[in-house]
Amino acid sequence: MVAGKPLAAAMFVAALSASVASAQTPEFTPRDETPEQFPAGPGRDEAFYACVACHNFKLVAAQGLDRERWSGTLDWMTVRHNMPVLEGDDRKLILDYLASTFPPKPAAAGGGWKSPFAPQ
């Protein structure tokens, strides 16, 4: 073994364990966020409060998905995480806001990092 690798591996495992432990601590509050911190538009408040029931809205804003993928994400969270089902006008309003406000991000110059979950 190369000197330093066991220490690096041990540090990685410790950091991973700490992050997993902290991820399991439920904090079902919007933390210090408010809807007004995000781009204005129809559906902002509804999307904000639907999402912050489980996680912060900055996580949502960072996704950058097209409408189809936003819709699939809502379906996945309903099935996988027991998110209340969004239907009808409520679903349309939230999807309209998410798709128009947080669309896919352009690829970084020079290739950059690409999400393994992005469509090919």
What's the pLDDT tens digit per position in 17-66?
A: 544 444 444 444 446 899 999 999 999 999 999 999 889 999 999 999 99
What is residue 87's predicted lDDT score, i.e. its pLDDT? Answer: 95
Going from N- to C-terminal start, the domains of the chain cover 26-101
74-109, pLDDT tens digit by residue?
999 999 999 999 999 999 999 999 999 999 987 666
What is residue 32's predicted lDDT score, i.e. its pLDDT? Answer: 84
Query: What is the CATH architecture assignment of 26-101?
Result: Orthogonal Bundle (1.10)
Cβ proximity of 69 and 44 under 8 Å: no
pLDDT: is 16 or 56 the higher one? Answer: 56
Q: Which residues of 72-100 are buried (b: 16+ CB within 10 A; e: fewer)?
A: ebbeebeeeeebeebeeeebebbbbbbbe
Residue type at position 44: R
Report which secondary-structure segment, H or E, holds 60.
Answer: helix 57-61
CA 104 to each of CA 47, 65, 69, 120: distance values in angstroms, whole numbers, following the listed order:
17, 5, 10, 13
